[in-house]
Structure 1
Amino acid sequence: MPQDTLKDHGAEKKLVNIRLWVAVGFMILLCLGLISRLFYLQVVRHVELSTQSDENRVLVQPIPPTRGLIYDKNGVLLAMNKPSHILSIVREQAKDMDVLLADIAKLVNLTEGELKRFDQRIRRRRPFEAVPLKFDLTSEEIARITVNQFRLPGVDINAELVRYYPEKEAFAHSIGYVGRINDRDLQTLDPALYSGTHTTGKIGVERSYESILLGKPGFQEVETNARGRVLRVLKKEPPVPGRDINLYLDSKLQKIAIEAINGRRGAVVAMDPKTGGVLTMASTPSFDPNLFVTGIDTKTFNGLNTNIERPLYNRASLGEYPPASTVKPVMGLALLANGVVKPEDRVFDKGWFQLPGSEHRFRNWKRSGHGWVDLNQAITVSNDTYFYNQAGKLGIDNLHDFASQFGFGHRTGIDIREERPGLLPSREWKRGAYEQPWYPGETVIAIIGQGYMLATPLQLAESTSLIANRGHYVQPRLVRENIPEVQGEFWGDDISTGLTDEADAFNWELIIGAMEEVIHSPRGTANWRIGRGLKYRMAGKTGTAQVVSIAQGEEYDAEKLKEFERDHSLFIGFAPADDPQIAVSVILENSNGASNVARKVMDAYLLPRLAAAKNQKEK
């Protein structure tokens, strides 16, 4: 074999050693680079990276406060909180939101409305905040989500307290309801106070006393793993619960009022004349406020909103109606106070009245007339002609100024925001509204509560309480406690009749005596309906408000009119007449029997108290 074909083992060994040292040197350089990098990260940037690590590992979660409860005057719970299982999603932990929602929809039913509201909520959420997708999960839905949760990143099920109204429709307009926070709410709400809270008061007491009922949120720092699961709680500051509220409202009396209305459209307001506490504020038809708590679907809301009977409308404080003859006691006081008439002055009623130089006849409700009528009789039998004759002597200016002292044309300032002022017409008002002068015939119909004049049932209850108190004013209130943080937000006018001297005291008793005759005299307009069998003295006044005009010479016939064109029935009253404990106003739209409703409410409230007082006295 040739010599050059033999291997040079020495050269090969030298080559291997060179390669080995190169490799070792390269490894040393890598180690030095790694050590320097670790030094840079662990020492040079320790503080910065430690903070970032904690932020990835530690989350601050808001803890919503428990909303305050609402009770009636007897301690009956009207607004409470009940546990509800909520399916929520943390956007940062979800990979593909569209895919995730599609997977969830295979497990639980998601409506179009729920998806739309979720999309709205997730746009305004805070980072790493759980956004609710579906409320009130059933046990079966909870089981499905739990079993599949490993493949639903960012999805969690939490038990939270949500608002619940056990009386449902009965107090929907007065207590109101909470609803989901929307974009309009966000413009006025403090985000810090609503951390973790998804609802806010929308109407009624829930809205007016939101700052009291809400409470203050707490927070907790939690340690999470790479998948966002909570491992442990590091720090916790508990929330401050909202304050409970007690109302003047009487749930039993409210139900009796609603039953007495018997499915018709109407409203009942009952007040304690001594305190101003509203005992009953019923408006029918009504709605279930629980529908709004977690978000009402479009179909249901449209059904309520377009319903011809307007169940969402609070007739008690927003409904503006011609007060009709229920204003005659106030107008009688106006005639006496302004010296237009004396108690003994009489007018002959032949069934109608005409202004000088006019052919138009202003008719009395009794076509044949009542003959000779004084002020007491004019109120007792509700004679229109007597007041027609005095309208021109009183004048619209005096009429406006005097009626204004009884709250007409003003908001009462009750502690809910859903209230209208009604309308007390004047020369200035008509000039501004129609650019027309005031005509004498308009005063003639204004003095009997028709024409432009409008009042809410709440205003009528307020003015009735003022009469019951012989001029002492108390402002209507729903909440029993005096809460300075909230009370200043309402805008009632401080009413003072200025009727305080001895002559005025005589006038009060004359008018109240006439209102007693309305109930207890055989000639009284309410005697045959509610006056018989009464175990206490009641003072009251009936009223019938025209909805459509009846042509001259024609008589009103309800059967010939469509339902919504028929007259409204009204009633105001208080009792006992010598020691008023309750004042009531009732409106029944396109129906009659308002006085019957008032009698049932007053009986339910007064008879047990009168019996208890009698037993106590006998002891």
Structure 2
Amino acid sequence: MKKGWAVFAAFFLIVIFLSGCRDKVTPEERLAKYLGHWNNGEFADMYSNYLNEETKDTYGKKGFVERQEKLQKDLGIENVEVTYTKPAKDIEWDSEKPASFPIQVKMETVAGPVEFEKTMTLVYETNDEIEDWFVEWDSSFIFPELGEKDTIRISTSTFARGEILDRNGLPIAVNGTGYEIGIVPGKFTDDEKKAELTELLGTTAKYIDSQLNQSWVKPDYFVPIAKVSNNDIPLLEKLAEIPGVTRKETPMREYPYGEALSHLSGFIGVITAEQLEKHKDEGYTESDLIGRQGLERLLEDRLRGENGIRIYIDKAEEGAEAVTVAERPAVDGETVSLTIDAQLQKQTYQAMRGEAGTSAAVNPKTGETLTLVSSPGFNPTEFMLGISGERYKALETNPLKPLFNRFTASYAPGSTLKPITATIGLEAGTLNPTEGLTINGKTWQKDASWGDYKVTRVHAEAPNPIDLNKALVYSDNIYFAQQALDMGSKTFVEGLKRFGFDEEIPFTYGMKPSQISNEGTIGSQGQLADTSFGQGEMLTNILHLASMYEVFLTEGLMYKPTLFLEEEDAQVWKEGLVSAKNASIIRTSLRNVVVDGFAQVANLPSVPLAGKTGTAELKAASEDKGRENGFFVTYNSENPDFILAMMIEGVEDNGGSAYVAELVSRVFAPTGENQ
């Protein structure tokens, strides 16, 4: 019996011994679990269960847990990957000696990746009545160069916004300088001048007082009040005359062509709440500048660039240099070059004399857009600096609508459509260019079924018979109405669609498509007649109108209009629109319109222009009834470097389309000729 008990006791002791051996954890196993928590950012578990007593006493929970959690958030630390180099398989661990392991640390931060290697040591000790392996830790495991009293800091460097240049490298929207206008309080002693200053700067006396009454202000300090463009010379001169008012140069976006390119360039401004919400995940802040209109807005993603950011250790030792942990350099925005010829744009804008209207010029050999003008324009800098409510209201209520971008809109093209109508008839075989029609009187209708509707022509004096050349020279509505009836609405509509009507204009900048009618169809003979000479419900975009005239110079090709130099030239949008023979017929008549017709004001001695005038009566809105828009589309018939289309509103009392032809001729005329 005693022997049995002895055997049982021995067996029991062996089981206990073996169990104890299985439960004894190696330092490698403890390290692996610790690194698992580290990779998951579980700093509280690391602190409570894995750090040795000396580490806890030195750093405390705040120095270990809270600091690392804050750094993870502030530095944007993610994708942490900590590994270790496995020891030899046959190693025997001695609890009397520390166990050391090489570890490798990788992470992503807001300033880029960080990688380093360290040696981590575990010691065997009793911690909270538990005997185990525990980690010895110090701040260098956050970053190797980080001392206990050092500080981790972040600095940013701003990018330079990308610039917009014209085809010749001339500046359209660039980073330049302006002036910050300020007051030196000790010299600004004349209270009567305060009212003058508020008026000049568009601010209030209350605001000026609030600036001057700030706690840091001293009599000889510069107190900023407003910013002014460096090209606003009259304003700067007036400000310079006020004692105590001075200025400092400051970085500023510049728009050298001002009003002439305002609708195309647009402007930047402080980001709106709506834009901030839209771009909330893209790093914008409430004080950032962003494209607010025009190409500045359209190209925001390309122009913006990316701020640089640097994470560095500010060493506690006096005189010690800061240590960079990670750095992402600032990336400047792109420079974008346009097909626009800024000088031609300025010349065209000035030729329009501030009249309400629009114009576009294209290169007929490439489809490049050389000008896009909306007149009148506005001062982009005024909006960039923050326009006052009073000033904005004045612009908004201006009857000439300087804030309305006319080159994106569409208008009834009037008689400028007639060459297109003729082309459709020629290609369909329904129009014989040499066949003359006998047309008498000022009005015509097909038959009594038309009721009160009649087609009216302006020049009843045109000598019969009226062939295509005379019809274009005298701009005879009746001739084109009869030709449209001969070809029929189906042929005419199909022809217009081949020219790009009723489809999106393939252009980077959003343009309203040209339309045949509100429904895209022609429902009556009267509507067919009206549409044949660019009236009815037809509307045409000015850029599209200029592009359509390319076919007469390219023998049937119409190119996709481009805006950026990086785009491929001569991308065919439409082809086979007119034969070489028929294109030649139209070209001859377009030259005759200027030589013999009612665009003779554009018959320059040294520049042989060819083109077509057009007048469109406004019928839609009652307040516009009786008003007319005038058009002229033209090119140099011997050297057609560009086709220019221009529309001027309200020409009914100003010479009609001949007035527009005179304005356009100023763009082509050499200095002193027809000026």
- TM-score in terms of structure 2 length: 0.63
CA–CA distance in structure 1, aligned partners of residues 482 and 560 of structure 2: 34
Letter in 1 for 2:473: T
In the alignment, is residue 253 of structure 1 matched against residue 253 of structure 2?
A: no
Aligned partner of 1:140 in structure 2 is: 222
Which residue of 564, 587, 595 maps to 2:661? Answer: 595
Aligned partner of 2:631 in structure 1 is: 570
Shift of 1:443: 0.5
In the alignment, is residue 514 of structure 1 matched against residue 589 of structure 2?
A: yes
Aligned partner of 1:172 in structure 2 is: 262
Aligned partner of 1:242 in structure 2 is: 333
Asked whether the 8 Å contact 2:436–2:464 carries over to 1, the reply is: no
Letter in 2 for 1:537: P
Which residue of 487, 502, 505 maps to 2:580? Answer: 505
Map Cα deviations across residues 66-95 of structure 1 (whole Å, 9 max, x no partner). 1111222222212112357999xxxxxxxx
Greater percentage in strand: 2
Shift of 1:324: 0.6
Aligned partner of 1:585 in structure 2 is: 645
**SS of residue in 2 equivalent to 1:344:** coil
Change (3 A) 1:142 1:288: closer
Aligned partner of 2:174 in structure 1 is: 80
Asked whether the 8 Å contact 1:546–1:566 carries over to 2, the reply is: yes
CA–CA distance in structure 1, aligned partners of residues 523 and 624 of structure 2: 32
Map Cα deviations across residues 395-453 of structure 1 (whole Å, 9 max, x no partner). 22222221222233334332223x21132127x536xxxxxx81211111110101101
CA–CA distance in structure 2, aligned partners of residues 295 and 37 of structure 1: 60
CA–CA distance in structure 2, aligned partners of residues 222 and 344 of structure 1: 84
Aligned partner of 2:603 in structure 1 is: 531
User: Aligned residue pairs: how many?
Assistant: 476
Aligned partner of 1:280 in structure 2 is: 371
Which residue of 384, 398, 405 maps to 2:498? Answer: 405
Asked whether the 8 Å contact 1:407–1:462 carries over to 2, the reply is: no
Shift of 1:454: 0.8
In the alignment, is residue 66 of structure 1 matched against residue 83 of structure 2?
A: no
CA–CA distance in structure 2, aligned partners of residues 499 and 74 of structure 1: 32
In the alignment, is residue 349 of structure 1 matched against residue 439 of structure 2?
A: yes
CA–CA distance in structure 1, aligned partners of residues 430 and 345 of structure 2: 41
Shift of 1:233: 8.7
For residues 328-477 of structure 1, the aligned pairs below 5 Å read 328-350=418-440, 351-357=442-448, 358-360=450-452, 361-417=454-510, 419-425=511-517, 428-429=519-520, 438-477=523-562
Change (3 A) 1:313 1:392: same
Shift of 1:498: 2.5
Shift of 1:141: 1.3
CA–CA distance in structure 1, aligned partners of residues 349 and 225 of structure 2: 42
Q: Which has the larger radius of gyration?
A: 2
Change (3 A) 1:594 1:143: closer
Asked whether the 8 Å contact 2:271–2:288 carries over to 1, the reply is: yes
Map Cα deviations across residues 594-619 of structure 1 (whole Å, 9 max, x no partner). 111222222359x9xxxxxxxxxxxx
**SS of residue in 1 equivalent to 2:438:** strand
CA–CA distance in structure 1, aligned partners of residues 426 and 407 of structure 2: 30
Map Cα deviations across residues 163-206 of structure 1 (whole Å, 9 max, x no partner). 22122211111122223222332344363454697122233222
Greater percentage in helix: 1
Change (3 A) 1:106 1:472: same
Aligned partner of 2:8 in structure 1 is: none
Change (3 A) 1:107 1:246: same
CA–CA distance in structure 2, aligned partners of residues 181 and 509 of structure 1: 53
What is the root-mean-square deviation in Å for CA atoms of aligned residues?
Answer: 3.8
Asked whether the 8 Å contact 1:353–1:385 carries over to 2, the reply is: yes
Asked whether the 8 Å contact 1:411–1:493 carries over to 2, the reply is: no
Letter in 1 for 2:163: L
Aligned partner of 1:48 in structure 2 is: 65
Asked whether the 8 Å contact 1:63–1:195 carries over to 2, the reply is: no
Shift of 1:570: 0.5
For residues 189-268 of structure 1, the aligned pairs below 5 Å read 189=279, 191-194=281-284, 198-221=288-311, 236-268=327-359
**SS of residue in 2 equivalent to 1:348:** coil
Change (3 A) 1:355 1:564: closer
Asked whether the 8 Å contact 1:72–1:251 carries over to 2, the reply is: yes
Map Cα deviations across residues 77-129 of structure 1 (whole Å, 9 max, x no partner). 12112357999xxxxxxxxxxxxxxx99754179xxxxxxxxxxxxxxxxxxx
Shift of 1:386: 0.9
- Structure 1 portions without partners, runs of 5+: 1-35, 88-102, 111-137, 145-157, 226-230, 431-436, 550-560, 608-619
